[in-house]
């Protein structure tokens, strides 16, 4: 991968606006994405799928193109199975509340899910009486397939797991999990928020029923997400929101729902976001997801190697860089994570995240207050990693105890 030429495409890097290591939250955006969205706003800022004038037709074609690009990016055949959402959270909520779960139905997740794949199930436990089972992770957060198997029986109606964790980077073998879940007749939902930006994802191989991710973590516009579903699953799923665009014909007392994907996309869509999504996917494909995955590992190797002998520092999650999916969470004895993040910014213009990263049960169950988290992406350079690790060293050796 030609990281130097990649870096030239990102305005915030060209302008030297700091070292951005908060990619697990949102990525930076390249010129290609910004220009595609500006082009929409300047030249055809209309609505798709409704009006029949020329600007609107151009938008409709752009929306169709984006779905086709999604199908090819994730290697599935049917573009209509990709629903535009505002983020992973919306996709996971649509799946959880749309599946018609009943009292006593069991939902299995890991014990390290993001709140987006945790809170909806707690709500369904409280309102409908579903039962929840947790597949227990190892000490460093690694998925344990035996624990997962022990959760499974015929009462399990849904298995909903993250593909990669946003604190430890640990990945779940989603293909194997899907196979096991399907043997029990369960529907499989995958939270791909952290994995889809960092590795090739082949949805035809994984065979999950529903897969959700966020484009703002994949060079795309803020507030853009994708929910993929198998056609037969989407056809049975209830939408989360109803209204204009979701119906064929209504009368005063009846509604004829539109086919997929329209029935899930209520109201006017984020057309600039959809146009920008296609540009982001094209960009990622041109670099190659395999290359991005190995670059993340290279950067993690460098970071973890540099930090090996730092006093007072503790890494949260596995020691192996290849298991970290571009995420390095750590604590320094005697400091709270927000202080570490603020010092990193004021000392060296390094932007990282701090706190519990919406993974509260993971931290609470391990009696940790949170952690600082640096997360890399394709445009981060080895020099940036060295500045980051030197700053961590200074902070740990000066203020740690
Ligand atoms: C593993 C995981 N799941 C879900 C989400 C939620 O993503 P979003 O806020 O884009 O809906 C995140 C966000 O960081 C995440 O890391």
Index of the ligand 1 atom closest to the CA of residue 214: 10
pLDDT greater than 90 at residue 401: no
pLDDT of residue 1: 77
pLDDT tens for 68-85 read 999 999 999 999 999 999
How far is the centre of ligand 1, averaged over its atoms, from the C-alpha of 93 (Å)? Answer: 12
How far is the centre of ligand 1, averaged over its atoms, from the C-alpha of 210 (Å)? Answer: 15
Give the number of C-alpha atoms closer than 13 A to the C-alpha of residue 31, restricted to the C-beta side: 10
Whether 104 and 201 map to the same domain: the answer is yes
User: What CATH number should be reported for the domain holding residue 51?
Assistant: 3.40.640.10
Whether 252 and 136 map to the same domain: the answer is yes
Index of the ligand 1 atom closest to the CA of residue 164: 1
- Which residues have C-beta within 8 Å of that of residue 151, sequence separation ≥ 6? 108, 133, 134, 135
CA atoms 329, 392, 390, 314: torsion sign:
negative
Percent over 90 (pLDDT), the chain: 95
Whether 325 and 266 map to the same domain: the answer is no
Q: Which of 286, 319, 347 is the last residue of a domain?
A: 286
How far is the centre of ligand 1, averaged over its atoms, from the C-alpha of 212 (Å)? Answer: 10
> Residues, the chain, total?
401
pLDDT tens for 307-332 read 999 999 999 999 999 999 999 999 99
The pick from 116, 167, 327 for probing ligand 1's pocket by mutation, whose C-beta has the most ligand atoms within 8 angstroms, reads: 116
| Residue 158 bridge partners (DSSP) | 107, 187
Number of neighbours of residue 352 by Cβ within 10 angstroms? 27
Whether 239 and 346 map to the same domain: the answer is no
pLDDT tens for 233-260 read 999 999 999 999 999 999 999 999 999 9
Q: Which of 253, 286, 319 is the last residue of a domain?
A: 286
Question: Structural domain tally of the chain?
Answer: 2
CA–CA separation, 121 and 107 (whole Å): 8
pLDDT tens for 279-318 read 999 999 999 999 999 999 999 999 999 999 999 999 999 9
Interior angle at CA 230, CA 131 and CA 93, nearest 5: 45
Whether 251 and 307 map to the same domain: the answer is no
pLDDT tens for 359-384 read 999 998 888 889 999 999 999 999 99
Catalytic residue positions, numbered: 358
Whether 278 and 355 map to the same domain: the answer is no
In this structure, the residues whose C-beta lies within 6 A of any atom of ligand 1 are 24, 87-89, 114, 116, 162, 166, 191, 193-194, 214
Whether 70 and 11 map to the same domain: the answer is no
**Tokens 């983020």 found at:** 87
Whether 107 and 146 map to the same domain: the answer is yes
How far is the centre of ligand 1, averaged over its atoms, from the C-alpha of 114 (Å)? Answer: 7
Tokens of 188: 């499989």
**Tokens 């993040």 found at:** 341
Residue 218 near residue 197, CB atoms below 8 Å: yes
Please give the residue range of the domain that contains residue 346. Answer: 3-23+288-399
């Amino acid at each position: 991968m030609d990281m130097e030429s990649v870096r030239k495409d990102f305005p915030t890097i060209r302008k030297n606006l700091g070292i951005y290591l908060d990619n697990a939250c949102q990525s930076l955006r390249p010129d290609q994405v910004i220009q595609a969205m500006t082009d929409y706003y300047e030249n055809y800022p209309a609505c798709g799928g409704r009006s029949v004038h020329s600007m609107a037709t151009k938008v409709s074609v752009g929306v169709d193109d984006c779905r086709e690009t999604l199908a090819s990016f994730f290697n599935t055949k049917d573009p209509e199975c990709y629903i535009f959402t505002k983020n992973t959270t919306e996709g996971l909520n649509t799946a959880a509340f749309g599946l018609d779960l009943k009292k006593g139905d069991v939902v299995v997740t890991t014990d390290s899910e993001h709140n987006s794949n945790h809170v909806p199930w707690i709500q369904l436990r409280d309102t409908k009486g579903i039962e929840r089972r947790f597949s227990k992770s190892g000490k460093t957060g690694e998925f344990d397939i035996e624990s997962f198997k022990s959760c499974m029986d015929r009462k399990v109606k849904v298995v909903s797991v993250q593909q990669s964790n946003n604190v430890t980077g640990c990945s779940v073998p989603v293909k194997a999990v899907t196979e096991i879940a399907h043997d029990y007749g369960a529907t499989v939902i995958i939270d791909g928020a952290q994995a889809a930006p960092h590795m090739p994802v082949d949805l035809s191989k994984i065979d999950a029923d529903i897969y959700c991710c966020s484009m703002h973590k994949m060079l795309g516009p803020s507030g853009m997400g994708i929910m993929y579903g198998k056609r037969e699953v989407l056809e049975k799923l209830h939408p989360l929101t109803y209204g204009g665009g979701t119906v064929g014909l209504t009368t005063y007392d009846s509604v004829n729902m539109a086919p997929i994907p329209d029935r899930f996309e209520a109201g006017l869509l984020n057309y600039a976001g959809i146009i920008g999504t296609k540009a982001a996917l094209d960009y990622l494909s041109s670099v190659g997801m395999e290359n991005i995955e190995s670059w993340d590992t290279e950067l993690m190797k460098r970071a973890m190697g540099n930090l090996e002998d730092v006093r007072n520092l503790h890494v949260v999650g596995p020691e192996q860089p290849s298991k970290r999916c571009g995420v390095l969470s750590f604590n320094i004895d005697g400091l709270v994570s927000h202080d570490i993040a603020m010092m990193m910014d004021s000392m060296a213009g390094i932007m990282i995240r701090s706190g519990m990263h919406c993974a509260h049960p993971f931290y609470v169950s391990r009696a940790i207050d949170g952690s600082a988290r640096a997360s890399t992406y394709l445009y981060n350079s080895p020099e940036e990693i060295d500045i980051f690790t030197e700053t961590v060293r200074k902070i740990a050796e000066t203020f740690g105890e």
